[in-house]
Amino acid sequence: MTDSGRLTIKEMPLSVRPRERLMSMGAPMLSDAELLGILVRTGRQGETAVDLGNRILADAGDIGKLANAMPEELCRVDGIGEAKAAQVVAAFELGKRASAATPSQRPVVSTPKDAVDLLMSKMRYLDREHFKALVLNTKNQLLRSIDVSIGSLSSSIVHPRELFKAVIRLSGAAVIVAHNHPSGDPTPSAEDILLTRRLVKAGNILGIDLLDHVILGDGTFVSLKERNLM
């Protein structure tokens, strides 16, 4: 506990520290109060930063009103000074700016060719198998391209847990996966087909659509969806 009697996040049990929960489970799994706790970092005497987060929310009324609160309004909450108020206001402003980004800034990936156009130039000459995922929102707009694994000359090792953990962290609604064949021949192997079907089953359980698995060769590609191999 600090000299002023405030309980810091570092002094909370590991299992309930919001920062550690965010790193292990992803930001979408945290409550509003936990996210606020990460921002304000410390509470007051006898309360945690998450407790303070709950009081901030209660004072605002709901998260929507809090998003539009002025710094001086936040400073009315006991335990919130100018520095904490500025951190909260700045975080919400960044969120607003991200939400205001026009849809045209996010590529739409609705066909295998769309995925290939994004990935071919980066993957066709790789000397190891790289397994990537294009994480999409409900409108098939690209949220992020992520590296899931890097394998050997002839195979990549992918576990459904690693793929979908990343998709969940990004709040993805759907995903297209892709990997390269260093040989230049994109013909899917039996292992490629088996892996794809495992990923489809895992996605169905989680409510995340696996739209396609694209295999990239040297300037050529194969869509397992188009070949009815999923």
DSSP-assigned letters across all residues of 55-70: HHHHHHSSHHHHHT--
User: 3-class SS at 1?
Assistant: coil
Region of poorest pLDDT, from 20-29, 107-116, 200-209: 20-29
Contacts of 72 (CB under 8 A, 6+ apart): 85
The CATH 1.10.150 portion of the chain extends over 6-99
> If you average pLDDT over residues 116-137, what whole number do you get?
91
Cross-strand bridge partners of residue 131: 149, 179
Reading the block at residue 142, the tokens are 């690209």
The 8 Å CB, 24+ separation contacts for 143-148 are 143/106, 143/170, 143/171, 143/172, 144/170, 145/118, 145/119, 146/170, 148/177
Residue 156: predicted pLDDT: 67
pLDDT at residue 3, as a whole number: 44
Q: Where in the chain is the domain with CATH 3.40.140.10?
A: 105-223
Contact 130, 180 (CB under 8 A): yes
**Percent of the residues in the chain that have a pLDDT greater than 70, as a whole number:** 88
According to the CATH classification, is domain 6-99 in 1.10.150? yes
- The dotted CATH code for 105-223 is 3.40.140.10
Percent of the chain past pLDDT 90, that is, above it, reads 58
